[in-house]
Amino acid sequence: MDTVFRIARGLASRLRNLGYRGLGMHIEGRAWLRKIEAPSGWMHICLGDGAALDHGVQLVIGQGADGLALRVGKSCYVNRFTTLEAHRSLTIGEGCLIGPYCYLTDAEHGVAPEQPVREQPLDYRPTLIEDNVWIGAHVTVRAGVSIGQGAVIGAGSVVTSDIPPMAIAFGSPAKVHRQR
């Protein structure tokens, strides 16, 4: 029975690959796709070969996207109920692990006092997650942040500034506590 279940899940993932490709999403090779949400902007998304997006992952593409806005590198795993919100440039390198319930973005609302936040233009800043980064559960990565190759971000952290390669960082805001 377990084998039948695995075959059914594999077939469902392949059908999702075909469906998203048909809508314009770029998938290099094969991706493992559970039931994800990508309401629009499919042509602005690229998934590397072997990328895996688990149940409930949301790929949100902003209305101002021009060209490739979201890239998930090959052999990355994005865990359940994570949101990747890309307006211009959110890049996740190869071999990354992203825990459940994370939020990564490349844009934030302005907060000037003279007008309501909802009426202010977005501030777009490229966000880069380099290769082999591990991001724990419930982490928020704010716009304009770079996380260096091989870094580890502890669960529940809010990343507001760049993290160097091979660093172990955690907290709110995330700070480097040691090197790997």
Catalytic residue check, 138: no
Query: Which positions ≥6 away from 41 have C-beta within 8 Å?
Result: 59, 60, 61, 62, 65, 69
Catalytic residue among 26, 44, 55, 109: 109
Closest CA to 33 of 92, 60, 48, 43: 48
Helices then strands (H, E): number in the chain?
A: 1, 21
Instruction: Show which residues are catalytic.
Output: 109
